[in-house]
A = this chain, B = another copy of it.
Amino acid sequence: MAKKVLKFGGTSLGSIERIVHAAKIVKKEYNNGHKIIVVVSAMSGTTNNLIAHSELISKKFIKRELDVLLTSGEQVTSALIAGSLNDLGVKSKSWMNWQIPILTEGEHTNSRIINMNVKFINEYLESGGVAVIPGFQGISKSGDITSIGRGGSDATAVAIAKIFDTDTCEIYTDVDGVYSSDPKKIPVAKKINKISYEEMLELSSLGAKVMQSSAVQTAMMYDIPLKVKSTFTDRDGTEIFNQENIDYSKVVTGVAYSKDDAKITLIGVEDKPGVAADIFEPLSKNEINVDMVIQNISSDGNKTDLTFTIKRQDKNTASSLIKNNKKIKYETMQMNDKVSKISIVGAGMVATPGVTYKMFRSLAEEKINILAISTSEIKVSVIIDESSTIQAVKKLHKTFNLD
């Protein structure tokens, strides 16, 4: 008998039929003798609808009230799934954020869970009940409703797994696990059975949005084993856990890509200390996130070229910030927003020489030009022309035996 967190995402609760189906999954686990805490997202579409409502009133809708507004979504699904479980003959009760309470700190719309009271829910589990808890939300020390950011229900599930010391944390979603790449776009992509937290983080930050990154980080920090599985099939899903417990017969676990990048190159920048800081400081102050930065060695020792990538949506702000900044001296600025970022991810990479070379070689075979490169211990990312994205991802699947 285990103590489990079962978390259901918005698509898994997207209709009454699906809510009843989720309740039946819970019942099955309950009948197997497990103690169960259910964590729910809002029904798919609800949060976006509520945000759209708030934006019709004001684009700068006051954040305290936005939290009150958005957290209503999980209240609805909590009640519906607890009601459905009772209807199926399983004793169940919902707990709202303030009833537990789920204590958070930080700003409205972006808080962090810091603690929960476990006493009453543990007593309820002992008495044979299933506890249902809304994801995504909590209360502040001053008793205001807070939310923990989009996708925050994953973070709630992991926090509950930690604070209630459960044996597993199972994330039920609309895909049957983590894939080597997006299976909708890359048909050769394969499901990964086991993956480390680090690889999962690299993949999810690169567009494979199966789980919210900060939730995976928290799970990694406290060594909480995760399972991602589909609400709609009985298949096994993907287990996410510690790097040491993974068999690295495959060096590369997945190939991620994103198409929302833009590349800016400043040609003829003065090659002296403080230049990079002068360029990136105003971007940072305007909350523009700089991703990859490549600085070439200057040929004459005085001037150099600096390339960096940002989100495509920020390109106009970024270019005018640079143009209007008198401190930055450069000859010309080049911008390319028709680029994509391709990354190979694998925890085995660090111990296997030649992975980077193999990647470059196979892209060259496809006549794909690499515009920028950046590497980390478990990831190699390249910027290429956007039109070659799918071709590159397929080729890399083949090169690293992922298909």
Interface residues, chain A, with chain B CB atoms under 8 Å away: 16, 19-20, 50, 53-54, 56-58, 60-62, 64-66, 68-69, 71-72, 75-76, 78-80, 82-84, 86-87, 93-94, 96, 98-99, 143, 145
Contact = CB atoms under 8 A, between A and B. Distances in A.
A146 to B, nearest CB: 13
24 contacts: A16-B56, A16-B57, A19-B57, A20-B57, A53-B76, A54-B79, A54-B83, A57-B83, A57-B84, A58-B83, A58-B86, A58-B87, A61-B87, A62-B82, A65-B79, A65-B83, A65-B86, A68-B82, A69-B80, A72-B79, A75-B75, A96-B98, A98-B99, A99-B143
For the complex, would chain A's binding face be called helix, strand, loop or mixed by DSSP majority?
Answer: helix
A19 B50 CA distance: 14
Contacts of A58: 83-84, 86-87
Contacts of A80: 53-54, 57, 65, 69
A84 B62 CA distance: 9
A142 to B, nearest CB: 10
Nearest to A52: B16
A64 B50 contact: no
Contacts of A79: 54, 65-66, 68-69, 72
A76 to B, nearest CB: 5
Nearest to A93: B64
A27 B219 CA distance: 48
A143 B117 CA distance: 15
A243 B134 CA distance: 49
A79 B99 CA distance: 20
A78 B68 contact: yes
A64 B94 CA distance: 9
A20 to B, nearest CB: 6
Given A83-B65, A96-B145, A143-B99, A76 B57 contact: no
Nearest to A23: B57
Given A58-B87, A64-B93, A72 B72 contact: yes
Contacts of A93: 64-65
Given A16-B56, A57-B16, A68-B96, A62 B83 contact: yes
Contact of A72 (B19, B54, B62, B76): B76
B68 A50 contact: no
